[in-house]
Amino acid sequence: MEGTASLIWIVLFLPLIGSLVQALFGGSVVAKMGAAKGKRVMGTLAVLPIAVAFAIGAFLTLQLSQQEVGARSHVVTLFDWINIASLRVPFELVVDPLSMTMVLIITGIGALIHLYATGYMADDQEYPRFFTYLNLFVASMLILVLGNNLGLMFIGWEGVGLCSYLLIGFWYRDIENAKAANKAFIVNRIGDWGLTLGMFLLFAVIVANVDKMQLPEGETRWLSYDVILPNIVRIIEAQPAIATAIALLFFVGACGKSAQFPLYFWLPDAMAGPTPVSALIHAATMVTSGIVILNRMHVIFEVSEVASAVVAMVGAFTALFAAVIAFGQTDIKKVLAYSTVSQLGFMFIGCGVGGYWTGMFHVTTHAFFKALLFLGSGAVIYAMAHNQDMRNYGNLRKYLPITFATMFIGFIAIAGLAVPPGFGFAGFYSKEAILGYALANEHASIGVLNLGYYAGVLGLLVAGLTACYMTRMTWLTFFGKEERWRAIPAVEHGHHDDHHVAHAHHAHDHGPDTHGFFYTDEELAAQPHEHEHHHELDETHTPKEVPPSMWIPLAVLAVPSAIGGFLLYRNHAFEKWLQPEPLPVLGEMSGHPEHLNLLMLSIAAAFSGLIVGLLVYRKGLPKSEGWEMGKWATWRKLAANQFGYDRFLVRSSTEGGGEVANMVWKYIDVGIIDKIVNGVGVAVSKVGMLFGAFQTGYVRSYALMMLFGVTGFLGYIVYTMIRVGGGQ
């Protein structure tokens, strides 16, 4: 197996090479072969490495699953990356169930989304640039999950952050997109702050307790998982406060990447990026890296009940908060974005209460159905002339049968609809497992307060809400008799109804630079107009089903969204794969609450959500949610604005923060620091002038200086010699 495990390098390097190929040759290939043919070639070259990587990953996973439970972890080292006094950080990857699960998700779903993107991005001029980023993202994400030490993990962590930034701002000429990209990047820095501090603290704790660890002689890989994790429990069990500190700092990092309250607010804005990006990065893979870290580091969380309780409660609150906000959204991608935030909250509930594998289970099923839903929404947007507002949709099942059928499967999966003996689509099983762990265990508690239980109760409520807002989205989009876009009169560039103008503009997610930020008017006019082929959505528009490169991934994803949960849940397959032995600290945990019929409760929650949703949205768009914001209910208006949270943060950080920064600049920076710095600079140049003055250019003075130097030097030696000799 060790030899076979080395194949993992190929998995890692394929997307990396793919990215380089796109970057170096993409432009010239498209230019030489002509747009259509060149794009087809580069598209194939983009999908191929990921698909091959998936095949190798699947083979490795199969090999791994045939091994004994205790032997399912292999570390393969390529070279020593850093080797300094008492710290060695090799470039090493780990092949174990957790990393391989993620590899399959990343490459499998990644390959489908790449395929989809070849269709979705077909009209974009910067086709190779898109796939350069997308392949690079896959490579970074693979390093994140495969790296066997915190150093490599951090490279991946920052790599995916960078790719996410680049891809959100892919259509950077629109200032809004650039702003969204900045926001994502900056908010993630806050998370990174926590993550790096956590890493430093963990490192400090490890090196301070080397004597308590059982290690082979000469082991100095203090950042590697196989060194840290088996030993850390012995060290931090005696110091629960430190365990809590490390766990919470890692959780701050997880909150940033996985969009949990209070750091969630970059994710909805991130939907400014192309839809395949939303599906791959901001739903299926990158945003789950927080869960992956928690799973990797779970022993630390096992030791700290307080940190676990915080994780569970933050997860539950985020799930609820985002679910409510989803009711106030009319942009189809925003609904899915908030639903992602909410589902990520579920995963954190699972990890918080000690059911670490349930978190990963939900990561897996969520990757299936959320990628499906996002790609489906992309298909809808594509068919609707890039208009994203659900108030312009309606009755689309007539025009987009394949999209509708597949998205409907996704809808059932996320809503958790199931029939009594316990059969349902993917999301049902994982959500059920999380809630079962939450309601049955007492790990996540502060004092006597079992917060994990309350998180479970909140989770049950959110499950109902999820069914309801997903019903809203599905019915507004696909059902109803009214085809609402027919109400938009076909005037050139829509100078009519105020609302429509405003919304048409915002919905148009990558218009040319209307702000004149980068280009003058003449330059704009001189450019070939990028989006001329996108005619505006108006009454003359007839939606058409999307091309096969786009609906094939939908159809493929629909299969695991439907039956994936059942297959993985049956005979505890996923649990036995990821967590075959009882947890090292918590031991055997129960996944089923004793006094509660959870199955019936969650089925009831899902169906009541569905029924309420049907009652309201059965006939299409209710007047109370239409174009006139004045008629909206107060709570919905608040939800649409994220209860003022985002605005508050932006205000306080850009305006208030600007004030503070101004003061700091004026009094501290200019007043104190500049003076010190300038003073030092002046002092240093004074020294320089002093010595520069000797630089006369005359050989004789140089020789004299040398003589002085020699005399001084030898004099000093003689002085030392006499002093040392005197001491003898």
DSSP state letter for 542? -
- The least distance separating other proteins from the CB of residue 716, rounded to whole angstroms, comes to 4
- The least distance separating other proteins from the CB of residue 686, rounded to whole angstroms, comes to 9
The residue (of 185 and 203) whose beta carbon lies closer to other proteins is 203
The tokens describing 284, both together, are: 């299926």
Best CA proximity match to 322, nearest among 536, 466, 527: 466
- The least distance separating other proteins from the CB of residue 329, rounded to whole angstroms, comes to 43
Backbone phi, psi, residue 418, to 5°: -150, 165
The residue (of 423 and 713) whose beta carbon lies closer to other proteins is 713
Report the C-alpha gap between 113 and 553 in whole angstroms: 7
The residue (of 539 and 674) whose beta carbon lies closer to other proteins is 674
Q: Is 175 exposed, middle or buried (0-12, 13-18, 19+ CB in 10 A)?
A: middle
- The least distance separating other proteins from the CB of residue 703, rounded to whole angstroms, comes to 6
Report the C-alpha gap between 344 and 541 in whole angstroms: 37
- The least distance separating other proteins from the CB of residue 2, rounded to whole angstroms, comes to 15
Write the DSSP assignment of 181-220 as a string of letters: HHHHHHHHHHHHHHHHHHHHHHHHHHHHTGGGS---TT--
Report the alpha-carbon angle 351-354-358, nearest 5: 55
The residue (of 90 and 553) whose beta carbon lies closer to other proteins is 90
The residue (of 502 and 684) whose beta carbon lies closer to other proteins is 684
- The least distance separating other proteins from the CB of residue 688, rounded to whole angstroms, comes to 4
Report the C-alpha gap between 553 and 379 in whole angstroms: 11
The residue (of 19 and 358) whose beta carbon lies closer to other proteins is 19
Report the C-alpha gap between 367 and 369 in whole angstroms: 6
Report the C-alpha gap between 60 and 73 in whole angstroms: 12
The residue (of 421 and 727) whose beta carbon lies closer to other proteins is 727
- The least distance separating other proteins from the CB of residue 149, rounded to whole angstroms, comes to 14
Q: Reply yes or no: is the peptide bond before residue 622 cis, omega within 30 of 0.
A: no
- The least distance separating other proteins from the CB of residue 717, rounded to whole angstroms, comes to 5
Q: What are the distances in angstroms from CA 665 to CA 273, 386, 656?
A: 35, 44, 14
- The least distance separating other proteins from the CB of residue 151, rounded to whole angstroms, comes to 12
The residue (of 34 and 679) whose beta carbon lies closer to other proteins is 679
Q: Which residues pair with 91 in a beta bridge?
A: 79
Report the C-alpha gap between 465 and 476 in whole angstroms: 16
Interacting residues toward other proteins by CB under 8 A: 79-87, 207, 210-211, 218, 220, 222, 681, 684-685, 687-689, 691-692, 694-695, 697, 699, 702-703, 705-706, 708-710, 712-714, 716-718, 720-721, 724
Q: What are the distances in angstroms from CA 668 to CA 655, 677, 682?
A: 19, 12, 20
Three-class HEC string of 645-671: HHHHHHHHHHHHHHHHHHHHHHHHHHH
The residue (of 219 and 226) whose beta carbon lies closer to other proteins is 219
Report the C-alpha gap between 248 and 311 in whole angstroms: 8
- The least distance separating other proteins from the CB of residue 161, rounded to whole angstroms, comes to 18
The residue (of 648 and 719) whose beta carbon lies closer to other proteins is 719
Report the C-alpha gap between 614 and 445 in whole angstroms: 38
Report the C-alpha gap between 288 and 295 in whole angstroms: 11
Report the alpha-carbon angle 102-103-105, nearest 5: 60
- The least distance separating other proteins from the CB of residue 13, rounded to whole angstroms, comes to 15
The residue (of 70 and 726) whose beta carbon lies closer to other proteins is 726
Query: In the chain, what is the greatest distance between 2 CA atoms, to the nearest angstrom?
Result: 106
The tokens describing 325, both together, are: 């906000």
- The least distance separating other proteins from the CB of residue 201, rounded to whole angstroms, comes to 15
The residue (of 633 and 673) whose beta carbon lies closer to other proteins is 673
